[in-house]
Structure 1
């Protein structure tokens, strides 16, 4: 009897574990990875395919004891997106994705290098809407925290 209960418990836990990965979360995470790919390759075609152009980016950083907040629409960022002198590589350290119907968010700690030199780390917060074409990034808010990274290194 104990063996039967153990077997049933194992089957139920394996079944529940297999269901813990939400396919929509995977699709959202795929868009985050595509964003990083577009950033590194300076691929405006890919970027335009995964964002809502009227959406925006907002960055926050502390510089010389001042708080700097910068906001721009994705369509305006396209102009400065391609810069042959700067290869940007953003590395995702982890990700937490939440999905509710047609809205989702991804919380992504990251490090960023420019031309293979460490620049800063921070948190990306992506907000997505599910459109008829699939998940699209409607906003990207991120922190720029060079001193926090240096303390951890």
Structure 2
């Protein structure tokens, strides 16, 4: 269980440092990111996030640290599959931006646990 948590933690540590190479090392080949959300007045939808776009954004210098603070609510493991359910709060520097839940699906490959899928919810209120 600790090695699964370490992979997720390494993902966010890399994001905080603006180190896209460190973030990429946590990802399985073909990893997929999804977000569930909506714009005001629009229905909730499923958005597919571009992995390369995300990595480019992480590695591009920005004024504020991207600080996603997760808690490990549940970690489930069966053989080479792990699922992590994690409430989070996201801060730009010290300023609260949004919150929600992350759901990670990880696979255990020859080089260790890698993130295959991330899906999250995003909101500004009712955090926990």
Q: TM-score, normalised by structure 2?
A: 0.88
Unaligned runs of 5+ in 2: none
Alignment equivalent of 1:47, drawn from 15, 20, 23: 23
Task: Give CA-to-partner distance per residue, 1:9-29, whole Å, 9 cap, x none.
Answer: xxxxxxxxxxxxxxxx11101
Aligned residues: 126
- Once the two structures are superposed, residues 4-50 of structure 1 have per-residue CA deviations (whole angstroms, 9 ceiling, x without a partner) of xxxxxxxxxxxxxxxxxxxxx11101111111101111111211111
Q: Using the alignment, how far apart are the partners of 1:73 and 1:143 within structure 2?
A: 16
Mean Cα deviation higher: 37-46 or 122-131? 37-46
Higher helix share: 1
Residue 145 of structure 1 and its aligned partner are, at CA, apart by 1.4
Partner of 1:118 in structure 2? 96
Matched, 1:72 2:72: no
| Structure 1 position 95, deviation (Å) | 2.6
Structure 1 range deviating more: 41-50 or 117-126: 41-50
Tell me the secondary structure at the aligned position of residue 146 of structure 1.
coil
Q: What is the alpha-carbon distance in structure 2 between the residues aligned to residue 56 and residue 80 of structure 1?
A: 16
Pick the structure with more strand per residue: 2
Q: Where does the alignment leave 5 or more consecutive residues of structure 1 unmatched? A: 1-24
Is 1:60 paired with 2:31?
Answer: no
1:130 aligns with 2:86: no
Match of 1:108 in 2: 86
Larger radius of gyration: 1
**CA–CA separation in structure 2 for the residues paired with 1:107 and 1:32:** 11
Bigger RCO of structures 1 and 2 (CA < 8 A, at least 6 apart)? 2
Q: Which of 102, 121, 126 lines up with 1:143 in the alignment?
A: 121
1:131, 1:49 → 2: CA distance?
12
My pick for the range that moved more, 41-50 or 103-112, is 41-50
Deviations 1:61-80 (CA, angstroms, capped at 9, x unpaired) = 13213224321242342222
